Structure formats: C-alpha cells, structure tokens
Structure 1
Amino acid sequence: MKEPYNLCIVKPNKSAFSETFIQAQIDRLKGNKKVLYGGDFPLYDDQGKFLIRSKLWLLVYLIQKRLFKKREIGVRTRALADYLKKNDIDVVLAEYGMVGAMIASACKMAGVPLVIHFHGADAHHRPTIAKYQQLYHKAFDYASAIVAVSNDMVQSLKKIGAPAAKIHLNPYGVDGEKFPLIDISNSGPYFLSVGRFVEKKSPQSVIRAFKKVNEDFPEAHLWMVGDGPLFDEAKQLITELSLTGNVTLTGVMTATEIRKLMEKVRCFVQHSVTAADGDMEGTPNTILEAASSGLAIVSTAHAGIKEAVLDGIAGFLVPEHNIDEMAAKMLSIAGDVKLAAKMGLAAHDHIVQNYDINKRIALLDGIIQSSISNKN
C-alpha cells in the first residue's frame, strides 16, 4: 500500500460546533485528506465548489431532487465517482450512516473502499432507520468496514442488517492535554451539565434532580451549557422550581470556556435516555472530557456511558428516568468532597487508559488502512 494514502472524508455539515469527534478525525488521521460536505450526499468538494460542475447537470439534479423527490440521482452519483477517481482516492470515510448509505453507489462505481462511521441517531432513531433502510442494506453489502461507538450500537447495527464481521467497536477518545486532571478537593457542591437540550439528554431530569440537592444544600449550583429545542422549557422549569439563583444557563460555549467552568465544579451530570422515537447517545464526548478532567460523574446506565463510567468507582450510574436515584447520588457527591475527588481520580485514570484520543484514532486508521489493503 502506498504511503501516505489518499483519504476522502464525507460529512453532512461544513462545520458543526458539537461534532468535535469528526474534527479530531480530520485533524489526526493519517493520509492526504480531502473533506466533502453538504447533507447526506456531498454537494461541495474540498474547495467549496459544486461537485456537479455543469450548470445543465446541476439543473437536472435539482429537478430530480426537489421536484421528483428522488434519493438516488444518477448525475450526482457519477459526479462523486468522477471526483474520487480524478483525485486518486484510496478510501472513503463516511461520517454518519446516512452519508454512507447515500454514497455507497458512487464508491462502488469508482472502485473505492468505503468505511462507514455511525455516531448515534443514525443507528437508533427509528424514523431515520426506516427512511434509509434499503440504502443501508446496499451500503452494508459494499462497505469494507462499519464503525460503532458503543456496544449498544453494535447490537443495533446487527439488528438493522449490518454483518457482524464488518462491525468494529471504536468509541470516541479525548485529548488528555486539553482536559488534564483538575484538583477538586476544595470545590463546593457545584455541578456541570454540557449538551444539547434535546429529548435524549433529558435536561429537565437534571434540573428536577438538582432541585432535591438544593433543598439540602442551598449553596449548591448547577451550570448547564448548550442550546436546543428544549432550552426554553428548561428555563421555564428552573423558574417554576425557584432555582433561578442556583442554575445558570450559559448557552453554547467553546471548549476553553467549558474547561474553565470545570475548574469550578466537582461533578458532571447528564441524564441520557432513550427518546420516544428510539434515538440514543453513542458515547458522549462531554462525559469523556469531564472524566478526563477528574470530575466525578453522575449519569444514567445508557449506551456507551456504561463503559465510559465505572459505576460506584468513577461515579454513579442510575436507571433512565429515575430522578430520585439521580438526586440521591448527586447528594452523595454534594456532601462528600473526598468521595468526589476519589471518584474523579478514578474517572481520569479510566479515560487515560481506555479513551485516549491517540489510541482511538490509531485504531480507526488501522481499520481504514485494512480496507485499502483488502482491496489490493
């Protein structure tokens, strides 16, 4: 195999604040990289230009997509296949299952191996699975490898037809240099939650659990970082529970700003649940970063969190939707800073040993290179 290889990464969004895991792959994977984007099928090349160069063929594409609502559009598939051949691409990494499903035909046309990286809703969200079911099966047949980020996701992928022999478990990793160990031994009963305000992260559950903590610890404080469709509902609940002085909604923050907040608190909380439509987490990066920083974790026994947090050692895991149990574990942390510090250290050690970003990227690179070697 030639060194370095030519890797094409295809992702839905030009940039997404929450997709730090994809950016880490772009930054750290080996090879000469070209990044395409523009939805579940890339509309733009690595220069930000339309993949479909001809104005006539671009018009044909738009008519088929918008007027006839077609999903498999020949002119678009050929444009991507031509791009892959013209740029001598050795392998394609599709970020999200929907992207892999849509571009598999183009990869096959170009004779280029395809690695599909699933992340969360693409493997669990029932409407998404129903929408792409047939294309998933075609993509699974052609793909050289399929990457899952949790054991729960591995099982979900098998259920929707992914061959077990092609599935590789590789959770996200965290950069320990960016999230080094914090000394929380002198911290107050302060809590941090980071994530989108969506059903599967159940921000209302965190607020309700914190209310019980605040009743025993009036000085307790909760910072909630993020935004989303449930933000206003969460804000209203905080007012209803008379927590406006004890809960701060920060909105979206940068990694540096979040890191500074971590230095104030002793515990990271997240009440992840399976949403009504089946949507689930993968392995939340925010939990990995908090654990790497030495914060005790209180969360739910959900998806990849079960592997990332050693229950009773690095933090506490409670059943989904059990607010009373979550409150009880948060109270344990609020009332015992030595316990929090001990768990935080254990959390840090577990992440360093098992979720180091360099090891995770190296494993993904190995999967990618094997896909090239198996083709040759």
Structure 2
Amino acid sequence: MKDTFNLCIVKPNKSTFSETFIQAHIDRLKGNKKVLYGGDFPLYDHEGKFLIRSKFSLLAYLVQKRILKKKEIGVRIRALSAYLKENKIDVVLAEYGMVGAAIASACKMAGVPLIIHFHGADAHHKPTIAKYLPLYRVAFDYASAIVAVSNDMVKALKEMGAPASKIHLNPYGVDGAKFPLMDIINSGPYFLSVGRFVEKKSPQSVIRAFKQVHLGFPEAHLWMVGDGPLFDNTKQLISELGLTDSVTLTGVMTSAEIRALMQKVRCFVQHSVTAADGDMEGTPNTILEAASAGLAIVSTAHAGIKEAVIDSVTGFLVAEHDIDDMAAKMRRIAGDVELAAKMGLAAHDHIVKNYDIHMRIALLDHIIQSSISNNKIK
C-alpha cells in the first residue's frame, strides 16, 4: 500500500515533553496524517479549531460533560464521526486506552477502523481501569488492533477482556543516530536518572541507593533529570542525607541536553515500581535511549524493563523496593569501569537488534495498513 491513505492520530495532550513516543508516531508513520487532541475525547481538530462547530452544540456538550458527568455524549460522537467522514480518514490511531475507549463509538459510526495504542497507566492504573473498563470492553470489540508495549501489558489487556488475536506487542524504539554508542572507558563513577518524579519511578529509592554508593565512592555523582509531584520531597531527602554537592537536580531538559549529559556518565539508573494504585511503566524510552548510547543500566525487574535489560549482561535488575541490592549493583559499576563498558556495549547491541525505531515504526505501519485492508474487505 502506498502512503496515500489518510491516518488520524488522536492524542490527549497538545504537547507533552515526556511523550516522545507519540511524537515519533506523528513524525515517522506513513500516510497523510491529521492530529486531533484535547483530552480523552478530542476537543480540537488538526487546525486547532473546535471539533464541535456550533455554539449551541458546544454548550450542550459542556453541560453533559461538566454538569451531568456523562461519558457517552452524542453531540461530540457525531462531531467526530462527521470529521472522519469529511476528511476521508481511512484509519484512526488512538494514543492511550482511554482515548480509544472514548472514541470507539464515533469510529464505528463513521465506519473507520480503530487501533488503540496502550502506553502504561492506561493498562495498569486501578482507578483508570475501574472508570473505563466498560468502555474498554466495547472498544475492544470494535477495534481492529490493540497495541501493547510490554509482555506484562499484554497480560493485563487479556485480563481486561481484550481478544488475544487483536493484541500486538510493539515496544517503543530508539533512533540510533541520535543515541550512538559512546566510549565510557574513561568515565568516572557517575550516574544518570531521567524521568518524571512520580511514585512509579520511585526517585527517592534512587537517592537512598546512591547514598550507600557515595559512602564508598565519595567522588561519585548523580544527575537526575525531570520534574513532577515528588520533586520537592526528593530535593529535601537529598539535603537530609547530606548529598547536596553530589546530586544534581537539573529539572526538565531537551533530548539534546540529555544526550550531552550522557557523555559524562557511565551508568543509567531507574528504580521503577508498581505504585499503590497499580500504576506501572510500559517500556521506558529513557532506558532504551541510555542503552543505545552504551550506558550500563541498573534498574528493577519491572514491566517492559525486563525485556529491555538483560540481567547481568546489559546491566543489572533488582527487585522492586530492594534499595540495598540496587546500591550493591551501583557500587559494582562505580568500582569497575571495564565492567560498565562491557555491559554498555552489550546494551547497545541489544537495542540495535530489538528496539530500533525503524523496526518498531515498520511494525506499527503494518498494523495500520492491515487494518485498512481488512476494513475494505468487509
């Protein structure tokens, strides 16, 4: 199939710095693309205009959504269905399960195939699942394909009722040209962590593990990139543990700035855990990027990390919440740069063979085009 088909990508946020995987879909997938956004159900079209055209209809929508708290709102379903027909959309890619659940009725009304791409919390966060499960099951029935980014997510989707025949495992990918193999043989005992400061990434566990490393290696340093609700608590813990001069909180950084920071370190650390509300990772892009760049990884045996990191080969995996073991593995890296370099090289090779962005996008392209072809056969 040529690139002459029309693909509509529906995402919740206009732009979010951490959602690089969605931007990769927008930039790299085939087809004539239109992007809608504005929440679980898109409020804005590809030109940034309201999807619901008339002021009266928009008012009716707001009353039903904000006052009556309805999930299935006819006026917006009809507006999206009309948009899909008017723009001759051949297939819809819903970014996140909540979006797919919300727009399935509109896609069905328009006769357009729907692909639902799950990413993480949408498949694991208990309150989200409780809220959307009835709509998920309706969407599963209509969807032509459902995309998961880890084996744990595949299992979770099946438990929610997604047909196994519709589920496709396709983790995120890395552009190796942007994260080429580095030579870390001359690096110091320096560590990097990148991610939102939220419960499932457990930034304070990283700090507590690093404190143990610092006791044996006073020259060790940790850079933590990102922001989030646990940022201030993490900063306070750093002060309490006397690590202010040894831990740098950079805040949010661009990809280029993160790549430059990677050149200073020898190891990437992330202590992902299952949050109290069930929230989990999918397959963290940051770990894939660090591995591609040749950094040894120390992380947890959690979600897609178990496939992205080969324990004792490309890095070390520890049990969730096992701070002592994480510290022990970080000390091994701090004390043996040759081990770090060996693991980093193996990590790079593993990513190139299994997580290359071109390979991952090609599979998603195939899923999209198969959905279009199957819809034409009906």
**Smaller-chain TM-score range?**
over 0.9
Deviations 1:37-96 (A, max 9, x none): 000000000000000001111111111111111111000000000000000000000000
Residue 3 of structure 1: CA displacement? Answer: 4.3
Determine the C-alpha separation between the residues in 1 that align with 2:26 and 2:45.
Answer: 15
3-state SS of paired residue (1:242) = coil
Is the Cα–Cα contact under 8 Å of residues 3 and 30 in structure 2 kept in the other structure? Answer: no
Cα 1:145–1:356 change in 2 (3 A) is same
Pairing 1:85-100 to 2, within 5 Å after superposition: 85-100=85-100
TM-score by length of 2: 0.99
What does residue 213 of structure 1 align with?
213
Amino acid at match of 1:362: A
1:330 aligns with 2:345: no
What does residue 37 of structure 1 align with?
37
1:146 aligns with 2:146: yes
Deviations 1:167-198 (A, max 9, x none): 00000000000000111000000000000000
Pairing 1:126-137 to 2, within 5 Å after superposition: 126-137=126-137
What does residue 246 of structure 1 align with?
246
3-state SS of paired residue (2:123) = helix
What does residue 306 of structure 2 align with?
306
Question: Structure 1: any 5+ residue segments left out of the alignment?
Answer: none
Determine the C-alpha separation between the residues in 2 that align with 1:224 and 1:56.
Answer: 49
Pairing 1:1-376 to 2, within 5 Å after superposition: 3-376=3-376
Residue 118 of structure 1: CA displacement? Answer: 0.0
Amino acid at match of 1:81: S
Determine the C-alpha separation between the residues in 2 that align with 1:304 and 1:74.
Answer: 38
Determine the C-alpha separation between the residues in 2 that align with 1:15 and 1:322.
Answer: 35
3-state SS of paired residue (1:92) = strand
3-state SS of paired residue (1:168) = strand
Determine the C-alpha separation between the residues in 1 that align with 2:69 and 2:282.
Answer: 30
Determine the C-alpha separation between the residues in 1 that align with 2:301 and 2:205.
Answer: 14
Amino acid at match of 1:278: G
Determine the C-alpha separation between the residues in 2 that align with 1:207 and 1:333.
Answer: 16
Residue 330 of structure 1: CA displacement? Answer: 0.2
Determine the C-alpha separation between the residues in 2 that align with 1:170 and 1:139.
Answer: 20
Cα 1:338–1:2 change in 2 (3 A) is closer
Residue 2 of structure 1: CA displacement? Answer: 6.3
Determine the C-alpha separation between the residues in 2 that align with 1:89 and 1:371.
Answer: 13
Query: How many pairs were matched up?
Result: 376
Residue 4 of structure 1: CA displacement? Answer: 1.6
Determine the C-alpha separation between the residues in 1 that align with 2:64 and 2:167.
Answer: 34
Determine the C-alpha separation between the residues in 1 that align with 2:311 and 2:94.
Answer: 33
Determine the C-alpha separation between the residues in 1 that align with 2:97 and 2:26.
Answer: 17
Is the Cα–Cα contact under 8 Å of residues 37 and 43 in structure 2 kept in the other structure? Answer: yes
Is the Cα–Cα contact under 8 Å of residues 81 and 106 in structure 2 kept in the other structure? Answer: yes
Residue 160 of structure 1: CA displacement? Answer: 0.8
Is the Cα–Cα contact under 8 Å of residues 3 and 32 in structure 2 kept in the other structure? Answer: no
3-state SS of paired residue (1:155) = helix
Deviations 1:246-280 (A, max 9, x none): 00000000000000100000000000000000000
Amino acid at match of 2:230: L
Determine the C-alpha separation between the residues in 1 that align with 2:242 and 2:224.
Answer: 16
What stretches of structure 1 move > 6 A for 4+ residues in a row?
Answer: none
TM-score by length of 1: 0.99
Identity of aligned residues (%): 83
